[in-house]
C-alpha cells in the first residue's frame, strides 16, 4: 500500500472533476491528511472524506513549530 499525504486542493479538484470517489477506489493507495488540515480546510464541505477512506492523522505540536520555521525561511 502506498501512502499519499496530500493537501486540500487535491480533494477539491478531484471533486470538481467528478473523480473523488474513484480516487479512493485505487486499491494500492492510501490517502492521509494531518488533522489540522482536515479540521480547518476540509471538514465543513468534505466531511464525507473519512467515509470514503481518507485517514486523518494527528500532527505533533513540535512538527507544527518546525513547519513555521521552514515557512519563515
- pLDDT value at position 64? 75
Find all residues with CB under 8 Å of 6, minimum gap 6, and list them: 31, 32, 33
What are the extents of the domains in the chain?
2-72
**DSSP string for 19-63:** -HHHHHT-TTEEEEEEHHHIIIIIHHHHTTHHHHT-EEE---HHH
pLDDT at 21: 94
Per-position pLDDT tens, the chain of length 73: 788 888 899 999 999 999 999 999 987 889 999 998 999 999 999 999 999 999 999 988 777 777 778 777 7
What's the pLDDT score for residue 70? 76
All 3 cell numbers of residue 52?
470514503
Given a contact cutoff of 8 angstroms between Cβ atoms, the answer to whether 56 and 31 are in contact is no
Amino acid at each position: 500500500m502506498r501512502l499519499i499525504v496530500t493537501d486540500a486542493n487535491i480533494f477539491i479538484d478531484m471533486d470538481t472533476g467528478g473523480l473523488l470517489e474513484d480516487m479512493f477506489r485505487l486499491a494500492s493507495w492510501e490517502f492521509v491528511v494531518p488533522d489540522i488540515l482536515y479540521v480547518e480546510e476540509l471538514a465543513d464541505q468534505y466531511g464525507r472524506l473519512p467515509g470514503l477512506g481518507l485517514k486523518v492523522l494527528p500532527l505533533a505540536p513540535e512538527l507544527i513549530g518546525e513547519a513555521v520555521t521552514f515557512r519563515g525561511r
